[in-house]
Structure 1
Amino acid sequence: MNKETLSKFGLFSVAAIWGSGFVATKIALNSGITPYAMVGIRFLGAFLILYSLLKIKNIKITKEEMKLGAFAGIFLFFAFAFQTVGLLHTTSSKNAFITGANVIFVPFIFWLITQKKPSLLIYISSFLCFIGIGILSIENNFSINYGDFLTFICAIFFAIHIVVLGAKINNLNPLSINCFQMLSAGLLGILGNIIFEDFTLKSLNFNFEQSSALIYLILFNTLLCYIIQTISQKYVPPSKVSLILTTEMVFGSLFSILILNDPLTSKIILGGLLIFSSIILAESNILEKTLSKIKG
């Protein structure tokens, strides 16, 4: 198994864990913790663990890795901040749908930064994926409000984050980059908590539900997932990374059905099939060759 294939399996694992994170995040928020406090704690917690591991392994961190990590962490923080605050003003399904639109922005942002134009197949796959996410998440009477606008901005920041790592990581150490990405996002989360939430760390009550949810978010949804994503983006093109990670919506639905007893609807089935189909299409060279023959 080559590195690209292994990285794709890793990205699917990330999507699955992130899908389970919907449950953990809901438990944490229901326990009383505020949004910015949760963002700050989960990322700073992941930073402390990863930094300790790097020190134990005597891995040297270069200034270039620190700068890229800190830079990427800014976009990561804003993505989570806009998504979380937007969720306070809109429904979860609309929030998920608009967040999933980052798959549409990635090829354009990647083109803008690197001057590498994506293939037509990627655009077609992205469009199908966008439709799939819409079917999976959209509610009746879809309308644009303040929360939807914030979530739209969140999707742009997620797309920029994917592209920045994919375009700039090159031969740098992914673990070092991820370490300072966590630090940057975590510090900004605490800053947001101080400014917008009056430093309400008192919302931490450390009961079993809150503690277990935060530990899961730190170790799996944050530390493990972003390590895998950062490493995988060295071997997988950003457009395909974005497509694979959108299966988070499918896994999120499955965990909601299994754990929260949500009903299995035709929308979930059809939307999930379209998302997986778009990824299979992006991985196939058949249609691309056909289109090339038509052009040529």
Structure 2
Amino acid sequence: MNRSVITADISLLLVAFVWGTTFVLVQNAIAFLEPFSFNGVRFFMAAILLGGWLVINKKEQLKQLDKKLLVSGVIMGLFLFIGYAFQTIGLLYTTSSKAGFITGLSVVLVPVFSFMLLKMKPGFNAIIGVSIATAGLYLLTMTDKVSLNIGDAYVLICAVGFALHIIFTGKYSSKYPALLLTVIQVGTVAFLSVIFAFFTENWQQAFQAEVIFRTNVLTALIVTSLFATALAFFAQTAFQKYTTPTRVALIFAMEPVFAAAAGFMWANESLSFSALTGCLLIFAGMIFSEIPAKKTSFIFKKKAAS
């Protein structure tokens, strides 16, 4: 495994860590500022930060802006928005545990879409790793009844959105400048979130000082816009070209593990034996996918021979 792949994997794992550990912050914030309004402000702030960085330090990238690059960034932003939007809608009808599991099914959908859209056949290690991680997701999140409802269908659309975002990030990240591509996709999510907030929420709250400057809301907006949005999506766009979409999905499957750990440490949430086992399985699935294929094939051949 070369240095670029190792750097990419570590960077993407840090992204999953940031997303997981900021989940509690977001939960606390959207109790006062509705989800689409929160995401509209969050992604708009991130777009301003990245756009300022682009204009000040990477102005030469603007010369590469054309219709193809713009469309590519909008496509990535559209699928990212679909992920966030349908997860939010689904949570109105289903439980957070089922939503967490179904969202995590993007780890299964990514190799399927990679094969269908990019003709990338997942390796043996990736298939085993995905299977182990999926079992872990089930144990970590599915603590209540398994009966299905309309909310679960919405969250499944969310999983498709996140999976396709990973796929198209892999497709476009090697063709265009990462910062410019990130500004466009983040700006797209901000624009669509504002539109949905205008039609479905009390969007005026975003302009009320007693709401926006509330400690929970302001802290969450600052932390998520800088770390969980601007830096996180720039890192994904910059580093995903060095690895495969399936590996990215497995790394991102660690997000609920980090979220569970953060909830345990900062929100006094308990972790059952089932949840702990699930965390270990997700981690094991990610590690298994990183083992060189030659080593695992040698191990299986040796066992078969014995």
Q: Which residue of 2 aligns with 1:10?
A: 11
Higher deviation after alignment, 253-262 or 284-293: 284-293
Shift of residue 66 of structure 1? Answer: 2.5
Q: Which runs of 4+ in 1 moved over 6 A?
A: 291-294
For 2:6 and 2:207, how far apart are their aligned partners in 1?
43
Shift of residue 292, structure 1, vs aligned partner: 8.2
Residue deviations 1:91-121, cap 9 Å, x none?
1111111100000000110111111211232
Aligned counterparts of 1:159 and 1:292: Cα–Cα separation in 2 = 33
TM-score (norm. length: structure 2) = 0.91
* C-alpha distance in structure 1 between counterparts of 2:157 and 2:12, whole Å: 24
What is residue 251 of structure 1 aligned with on the other side?
A: 258
Residue of structure 2 equivalent to 1:263: 270
Structure 2 residue aligned with 1:56: 56
* Aligned residue type for 1:176: L
Partner deviation per Cα, 1:207-261 (whole Å, 9 max, x = no partner)? 1221111111111111111111111101011100000011011100000010001
Deviation at 1:291, TM superposition (A): 6.2
Sort the Cα spacing of 1:202 and 1:178 in 2 relative to 1 into closer, same or farther, 3 A. Answer: closer
Unpaired stretches in structure 1, ≥5 consecutive residues: none
CA distance in 2, matches of 1:170, 1:11: 16
Structure 1 position 217 matched with structure 2 position 224: yes
In 1, Cα distance between equivalents of 2:176 and 2:112: 24
Task: Verify the 8 A CA contact 2:107 2:163 in the aligned structure 1.
Answer: yes
**Which residue in 2 is equivalent to 1:26?**
27
Measure how far apart 1:190 and its partner are.
Answer: 0.5
Tell whether the 8 Å contact from 2:77 to 2:189 is kept in structure 1 after alignment: yes
How far apart are 1:124 and its partner, in Å? 1.8
Instruction: Determine whether 1:120 maps to 2:124.
Output: yes
Q: Counterpart in 2 of 1:43?
A: 43
1:203 deviation in Å? 7.2
CA 1:140–1:208 in 2, change beyond 3 Å: closer, same or farther?
A: closer
Alignment-mate amino acid for residue 266 of structure 1: F
Change beyond 3 A, Cα 1:203–1:134? farther
Against the structure 1 CA distance between its residues 288 and 231, is the aligned structure 2 distance closer, same or farther, given a 3 Å change threshold? farther
RMSD of aligned alpha carbons: 1.7
C-alpha separation between the residues in 2 aligned to 1:114 and 1:4? 20
Distance in 2, Cα, partners of 1:44 & 1:291: 50
- Determine the C-alpha separation between the residues in 2 that align with 1:230 and 1:288: 32
Q: Does 1:166 align with 2:162?
A: no
Residue pair 2:173, 2:238 contacting (<8 A) in 1 also: no
Q: Which amino acid aligns with 1:10?
A: S
- Provide the identity percentage: 31
Whether contact under 8 Å (2:47, 2:187) holds in the other structure is yes
- Counterpart in the other structure of 1:99: 103
Secondary structure of 1:117 counterpart: coil
Query: Could you report, residue by residue, the CA deviation over 1:48-101 in whole angstroms, capped at 9, with x for unpaired residues?
Result: 110011000123232233221111000000100001111121111111111000
- Size of the aligned set, in residue pairs, is 293
Residues of 2 paired with 1:202 and 1:256: CA distance? 27
**Residues 61 and 177, structure 2, Cα contact 8 Å, conserved in 1:** no
Looking at structure 2, the residues matched to 170 and 288 of structure 1 have their Cα atoms a distance apart, in angstroms, of 30
Name the amino acid aligned to 2:37: A
* Range 144-153 or range 59-68, more displaced: 59-68
For the Cα contact (< 8 Å) 1:174–1:227, is it kept in 2? yes
Contact 2:97 2:144 in 1 (8 A): no
Stretch deviating more after TM superposition (63-72 or 79-88): 63-72
Aligned match of 1:276: 283
1:34–1:203 Cα contact (<8 Å) kept: no
1:179 paired residue number? 183
Retained in 1: the 8 A contact 2:78–2:188? yes
Query: What is the TM-score when the length of structure 1 is the normalising length?
Result: 0.94
Residue 83 (str. 1) matches residue 90 (str. 2): no
Answer whether contact 2:25 2:216 (CA < 8 A) is retained: no
Higher mean alpha-carbon deviation, 237-246 vs 56-65, is at 56-65
Unaligned runs of 5+ in 2: none
Is 98-107 or 65-74 further displaced after alignment? 65-74
